[in-house]
Amino acid sequence: MKDSASTHHHIDGRAIAAQILRDCQAYAQSAQRIGRLISVSIGDVPEIEVYVRNQTRGAARAGLPFETEFWPGDITQDAAKARIQAMNDDAGTLGIILQRPVPAHINLRSLQSAIHPLKDVEGMNPASIGNIVYSDVALAPCTAAASVALIKSTGLDLKGTEVVMIGHSEIVGKPAAMMLMAEGATVTVCHHLTRSVAMHSRRADVVVVAVGIPHFLGPNMIKPGAVVIDIGINQVKGADGRPRIVGDVDTDAVGEIAGWITPVPGGVGPVTVATLMRNATVAHQRQVAAGWMD
């Protein structure tokens, strides 16, 4: 078996992210009156820390101001909405990042809807997701957009390409499928009610997986030369008893057959963070065009 860490089949997400962040930095240096990104965490949720840390680093590399706010876990829905509205009205706020999960009494979708579409750098507002239907993908959900960017990095022409999206979540699977259709791909979406996922995935030129099941996609589920994008982030116990992170794809086995494959970690994750920063620069451009900076 080839060393999967060195094979040319792997898509280097870190390198792609670095280029996106360099572009963002160039924009930030040339822009005038650029506001700050504000990360909002509600309650004490330790698993959020790694995301906030990665976003803080990404913003620093992109040259974008970044602040963190930690709201009490017992904050009411109305109080949280009022704080978001205040950020919407603040010209010094470039974008709002609502960390997930939130406490059970908070309606996440309602809070996401409260973020103004021009400050919705995560692409989670229903209006932002709805825009994808009309091929306006500039402020799309970050992970979905990152997946498309990774596919494009292989040089594959998506026009007429057969893509199978495994997973149909509102923030990844569905928007990714719509974005790929906007690129001219023929997209099949599989989910937990699909009778035979492998029947579909074995004929695809591109397979995108986001199901949250470790090593769900095996080598018998793809055709030779396919592009495989692994969005999964799963914590499992390694042979040494220590926890480690793996994706939804059996990377070593599938890497022997795939033409291109994203590793976990180092694939979709870094590009997702970089895409968040790129969305922030797009948000700034649209805010300027809307006259918010006057």
CATH number of the domain to which 103 belongs: 3.40.50.10860
What pLDDT sits at residue 110?
Answer: 96
DSSP conformation class of 47: G
What is the helix, strand, coil percentage profile of the chain, to 5? 40, 15, 40
What pLDDT sits at residue 47?
Answer: 86
Q: Is residue 243 part of a domain?
A: yes
What pLDDT sits at residue 87?
Answer: 98
Give the chain's domain count. 2
Q: What is the pTM of this model?
A: 0.94
Query: Residue 269, Cα to own-chain centre: how many angstroms?
Result: 7
Paired tokens of 167: 């997973």
Read off the pLDDT of each residue in 266-280 and give the average, rounded to a whole number: 98
Q: How much of the chain exceeds pLDDT 70, in percent?
A: 97
Cα within 13 Å of Cα(119), Cβ side:
28
**Statement to judge: residues 152 and 248 lie in one domain:** yes
Residue 122: phi, psi to the nearest 5?
Answer: -85, -15
**Statement to judge: residues 149 and 223 lie in one domain:** yes
Q: Is residue 201 part of a domain?
A: yes
What pLDDT sits at residue 294?
Answer: 63
**Statement to judge: residues 98 and 181 lie in one domain:** no
Residue 102 has pLDDT above 80, yes or no: yes
Q: Is residue 9 part of a domain?
A: no
Rounded distance between C-alpha atoms, residue 293 and residue 287, angstroms: 7
Residue 21 has pLDDT above 60, yes or no: yes
Q: Decide if 122 contacts 142 (C-beta within 8 A).
A: yes
**Statement to judge: residues 218 and 238 lie in one domain:** yes
Residue 175: CATH number of its domain: 3.40.50.720
Q: Is residue 208 part of a domain?
A: yes
**Statement to judge: residues 144 and 181 lie in one domain:** yes
What pLDDT sits at residue 9?
Answer: 87
Domain membership of residue 36 as a residue range: 24-117+274-289
DSSP conformation class of 131: H
Which secondary-structure segment (H or E) carries 243?
strand 243-246
Read off the pLDDT of each residue in 125-130 and give the average, rounded to a whole number: 92
Q: Decide if 39 contacts 54 (C-beta within 8 A).
A: no
**Statement to judge: residues 257 and 281 lie in one domain:** no
**Statement to judge: residues 154 and 248 lie in one domain:** yes
Q: Is residue 245 part of a domain?
A: yes
**Statement to judge: residues 108 and 144 lie in one domain:** no
Read off the pLDDT of each residue in 74-90 and give the average, rounded to a whole number: 98
